[in-house]
Amino acid sequence: MSSLPEHYRLSPTPPSAQRYRELRQLCGLSAITQAQAERGIQGSWAWLTVLSPTGQVVGMGRVVGDGGWYFLISDMATLPEHQGLGIGRAVLTSLLGRIRAEAEPGAYVTLTADPPGRRLYESMGFADVAPAHTGMAMKL
């Protein structure tokens, strides 16, 4: 089990839609609209935010899924000044723990990794699906 640095804490609640958008932008993720943020928050299966010792939301991760067999890890982000402290690992460990506790056996957990996160995801058991499968995306 991975733990957070002293005085940081995990919260099972989403950030505000505005903070969600800010974290994405500050961590180099693609921009989303306010409406996308609001609907994304509402449509999530699970959320975790990381609060700094001062109570500021400095990291996050969420799961989108059906609660039965399919789960997508998404929006893994830690503010640059808080990176390297094990925050991402603690978020991912906790999210996977919840999936393991609540999902049916044989659940499928997936994610799309940006290059900086690849090492973390591989260390936690995620593997590239190629060549057996092809990852695809479409942006509307």
pLDDT, tens only, 95-127: 999 999 999 999 999 998 888 888 999 999 999
Look at the block and give the residue holding tokens 């049916």.
104
pLDDT, tens only, 4-46: 999 999 999 999 999 999 999 999 999 999 999 999 999 999 9
Give a three-class secondary structure readout of 106-137: CCEEEECCCHHHHHHHHHCCCCCCCCCCCCCC
pLDDT, tens only, 50-98: 999 999 999 999 999 999 999 999 999 999 999 999 999 999 999 999 9
Which amino acid would we find at residue 55? G
* Residue 46 φ/ψ, nearest 5 degrees: -150, 150
Q: Is 81 helix (H, G, I), strand (E, B) or coil?
A: helix
- 43, 76, 116, 51: CA torsion to nearest 10: 160
**Does the structure show a pLDDT above 80 at 137?**
yes
Give all domains of the chain, ordered by start, each with its CATH number: 9-123 (3.40.630.30)
Confidence (pTM): 0.92
The pLDDT-based confidence of 2 (bands split at 50, 70, 90) is low
Q: Which tokens go with 91?
A: 């978020």
